[in-house]
Amino acid sequence: MRRLLLLLAPLVGAALIDTRSSHLENCSGYKAMNIREQGQSLTADLVLAGDHCDVYGTDLENLKLLVEYQTDDRLHVLISDRDEEVYQVPTSVVPRPDATSHHGSNPNIRFDFEAEPFSFRVLRGDEVLFDTSETSLVFETQYLRLRTWLPKNPYLYGLGEHSDPLRLPIKNYTRTLWSRDAYGIPENTNLYGNHPIYVDHRGAEGTHGVFFLNSNGMDIKVDQTDDGRQFLEYNTIGGVVDLYFLAGPSPKEVAKQYSEIVGLPAMQAYWTFGFHNCRYGHRDVYDVAEAVSNYSHAHIPLETMWTDIDYMDRRRVFTLDPERFPLEKMRELVDYLHKHDQHYIVMVDPAVSDNNGAANRGKGQNVFLKRGGEWYQGAVWPGVTVFPDWFAPTTQDWWDGEFARFFNPDTGVDIDGLWIDMNEASNFCPWPCQDPAAYSVENDLPPAAPDVRPSSPRPLPGFPADFQPGKSSGKVRRTAGNKAGLPNRELVSPPYQIANAAGSLSNKTIDTDLIHQGEDAYAEYDTHNLYGTMMSSASRHAMSERRPSVRPLIITRSTFAGAGAHVGHWLGDNLSEWGKYRTSIRQMLAFAAIFQIPMVGSDICGFGGNTTEELCARWATLGAFNPFYRNHNSIDSIPQEFYRWPTVADAARRAIAIRYRLLDYLYTAFHRQTQTGEPFLQPMFYVYPDDSKSFANEAQFFYGDSLLVSPVQDVGETSVDAYLPKDLFYDWYTGAKVQGKGANKTLTNVGVTEIPIHIRGGSIIPLRAESAMTTKELRRRGFEILVAPNKKGYASGSLYLDDGESLEVENSSEIQFEYNKGRLSIRGLFGYHPNVAIEAITILGQDRPRKQARGVDYDAARQSVTKKVNVSLSGPAEIDV
């Protein structure tokens, strides 16, 4: 038996403000008995060590402990009730990693414990990573508490979804996890999704991660005791203690280890990385078509056009407004886009109007949530609505059927991707929702967006003659043991109240005392945080049924751990403010690097409120370095398509040209994350984990391992104080060498259409030789290989190629480039032939021209050498430059 020394109990932390918190500190906890070690696992019984505390429920007297060394770098600790009646996250929603065939034989982390009172530590060598000593485990019918001690002044990240600093506050901080519709994305509140993983970065000592697999509402508190000791404390209103410890020791290794638990991200099609545009408030299909035309006229590449709920008949899902978005015109619009190698996406919400065909078919298949045998009703955009029960055994078939019917390529709207929203689930009716119709917005919709067409409508270039603005009124219709949970719990107002910004657990969402269909009869109280992810996986299935052979793009608002295996995420309804512009960077980094949802981005230029020309121009350049790049705004805001201001249009053209030339670099790194979990978009400390000056930097980020992006931060600014680690960099625009000194460097004269980018020395970046108006056209462009040598004259990089869309890839290429003092080597696997070649090789950092040779040019201003070549990407090659 392993033993730990117990220290004196600390004083109560300032964050524990509940009047019952002092009673919690006197709880006796548990003692471990019947301890058994077998192979790479340990089990024990945990028995209540003294009198009941019963602070926020009734203490469970008998628990059981399971410890598994699942791999050398992953330790699993599960504390559950003896009879396994307490709710656990269903494996159907979050599959568990295989713990039977990959046991760690030489673990890098280990479990240590004290039997009475029971506490445990997790160690990496002599370093303590997690320590529950001195505070008792509290395990009650509706409350769990577990506290771990932290190092002084810790660098913690994760615990999303939130808009708080990337490095989490360490004093008097509470991160509440409970999905809610959070318009404006406020700071220091719970938002749309839930990712209970944190990364603890300790510089040269290493990095580790802790994942708490629990979908119940919770407050995670980070604070200090009165004597200055740092702690992190879980306070949940249900579930079990299900912890995964990830040994690291680097931030990237933690990310890869986390992906082994929740699943690798879904690979996206090549076209999805193009530029997208949307607006809530398009008055009719002609308005949508005119936006498409205007982008073309402004020569701004538009890959995908999106339509918000405007297209629906009275906001009813799986319908079209017959006056403003008639089917025949919608089909013409989609045909036009497809003819021009562009794409089309619409929004679908979970709530279904209680008075249409989809609802009637769903009722016939028994797919909606019920209360006492009657259909549970709420109020969302179309008025009184019913909500799909994703646990009901027939819901998937119904959902598939509605997609097949409405999005039928031959008879319906042939969408190329899907946007799902309001899936926290959002409900306009406050709790208790006694009269949903009273909270309907069906008769109180905002007015149509102002008519922004020219006074004399011009023809839409390329559209059929009968697809032109005519005498349409353009009006908006104004119409209004099974691990399933203990019995006898208070499912709406539990004794412990989490800090849900919406108030009651059931306020503005689905009532939490509803019981789901299915054999396990889960309570919404336990599964609320899973609703969005279950809709996501169901929607991916429905989209795959439509087009089985291609990768489906699905963008969702609400997520839980593991959602990235199915979908991407946009960061929700932000505002057109400089603060939200800055916030989008840290949110994007958290999702891409920590939560394993790399297809992520913000509403460019902001959703709510009126943007400005300067803000939109800056955001257009920043957005070009979001994995998901979409301009989107609200019906009550001024239109903000990129072509509406000269500087924004110029910024967009410049930024998209850079993005598109880099698209295969992005695609390659993104693909690597889908195979290994190694993050593509990264905070600076992921690349420089030993540089303490990078640990709290959330204003800059790495786009892959090779490009450091340093956006302008505020209104009126034309300079950036960019931190450059002690490394060699090259200016993207000038090619100039920049030696980082581990200090800030002021970058001046950054025009409103520009964004500072630096290439890290030692990098090889595959570029398309030039940009294009669509990604299909881009794939016909040849390549330029850009070499940025390090101080020793060495560089390396890679290129992944496939057909860009197949779900099951038959032929692909994984090519490695290596440059060393004048010679470029090309090796790897060459299964996919792109029918284009390498047309040029450019070497940066050349102080003087090499010996002149035919086809080699020296650029003195850029200090670079470029050699014109014609090198096939069908096999290995060696080239002297």
Indicate whether 247 and 284 sit together in one domain: no
> Tokens representing 351?
């709530």
Residue 727 lies in a domain: yes
Give the separation between CA 109 and CA 74, rounded to whole angstroms.
8
Residues 40 and 67 in one domain: yes
Q: For residue 602, tell me if it sits in a domain.
A: no
**Whole-number Å distance between alpha carbons of 629 and 610:** 19
Spatial strand order of the sheet with 304-307 comes to: 600-601, 568-570, 553-556, 417-420, 343-348, 304-307, 275-277, 629-631, 603-604
Residue corresponding to tokens 């039977």:
100
CATH number at residue 151: 2.60.40.1760
User: Is 633 contained in some domain?
Assistant: no
Per-residue pLDDT, 456: 37
C-alpha 294/C-alpha 300 separation (Å) is: 9
Please answer whether residues 574 and 600 qualify as being in contact, where contact means their C-beta atoms are separated by less than 8 angstroms. Answer: no
From the centroid of its chain, how far is CA 65?
33
- Largest Cα–Cα distance of the chain, in whole Å? 89
Q: Strand ranges (DSSP E) for 413-466?
A: 417-420
Ranges under pLDDT 50 in the chain: 1-17, 443-457, 471-480
Given 81, 219, 389, 573, the catalytic residue:
573
- Is 286 domain-assigned? yes
Residue 813 sits in the same domain as residue 724: no
Q: Cβ–Cβ contacts within 10 Å for residue 792, how many?
A: 11
Q: What is the pLDDT of residue 101?
A: 65
Q: Which residues have C-beta within 8 Å of that of residue 287, sequence separation ≥ 6?
A: 449, 453, 474
The two three-digit tokens of residue 392, written as one number: 């009901």
User: Which H or E run contains 736?
Assistant: none
Dihedral angle over CA of 187, 188, 190, 196, nearest 10: 110
User: What is residue 469's predicted lDDT score, i.e. its pLDDT?
Assistant: 66
Determine the Cα–Cα distance for residues 696 and 702; give it in Å rounded to an integer. 14
- Shared domain for 460 and 330, answered yes or no, is yes
One-letter amino acid for residue 345 of the chain = I
**Cα(284)–Cα(315) distance, integer angstroms:** 13
CA angle in degrees (0–180, nearest 5) for 246-251-252: 95
Both 498 and 548 in a single domain? yes
Same domain as 423, residue 360: yes
pLDDT in tens, 503-521: 999 999 999 999 999 999 9
Domain assignment present for residue 670? The answer is no
Q: Indicate whether 214 and 287 sit together in one domain.
A: no
- The two three-digit tokens of residue 20, written as one number: 């019952």
168 and 308 co-located in one domain: no
Q: Which of 331, 357, 308 is closest to 409 using CA atoms?
A: 331
The residue range of the domain holding 192 is 21-262
Closest listed residue to residue 573, CA positions, set 610, 602, 595: 602
Is the link from the previous residue into 577 a cis peptide, with omega within 30 of 0? no
Q: Supply the CATH number for residue 743's domain.
A: 2.60.40.1180
Total residues belonging to the chain = 881
Question: What distances in angstroms separate CA 286 from CA 220, 227, 281, 282, 469, one per listed residue?
Answer: 49, 66, 12, 9, 6
C-alpha torsion angle, residues 862, 865, 866, 867 (rounded to 10) = 170
| Residue of 342, 338, 320 lying closest to 407 (CA atoms) | 320
Domain final residue pick, 237, 262, 287: 262
Pair 310, 179 in one domain:
no
771 contact partners, CB below 8 Å, separation of at least 6:
301, 656, 657, 660, 661, 778, 781
Nearest to 511 by CA among 499, 498, 524, 493: 524
Last residue of a domain, which of 759, 783, 815?
759
Query: CB neighbours of 99 closer than 8 A, spacing ≥ 6?
Result: 68, 70, 76
3-state helix/strand/coil string of 610-646? CCCHHHHHHHHHHHCCCCCEEECCCCCCCCCCHHHCH
* Any domain includes 89: yes
Q: Which of 515, 306, 501, 513 is nearest to 421 (CA)?
A: 306
Looking at the domain assignment, is residue 861 inside a domain? yes
What was the pLDDT predicted at 98?
83
Which one is catalytic: 140, 223, 421, 442?
421
Domain end (from 506, 535, 570): 570
pTM for the complete prediction?
0.94
Question: Do 103 and 180 fall into the same domain?
Answer: yes
Which structure tokens are listed for 557?
Answer: 């608002």
Give me 564's structure tokens: 């990235």
User: Do residue 741 and residue 786 come from a single domain?
Assistant: no
Tell me which residue of 445, 410, 417 sits closest to 310, measured CA to CA. 445
748 found inside a domain: yes
For position 403, what pLDDT does the model report? 98
Specify the pLDDT at position 468: 72
Q: How many domains does the chain have?
A: 4
Q: Are residues 425 and 553 in the same domain?
A: yes
* Given 131, 308, 313, 424, the catalytic residue: 424
3-state SS of 200-263 is: EECHHHCEEEEEECCCCCEEEEEEECCCCCEEEEEEECCCCEEEEEECCCCHHHHHHHHHHHHC
The answer to whether 424 is a known catalytic residue is yes
Positive or negative: CA dihedral 760, 761, 764, 766: positive
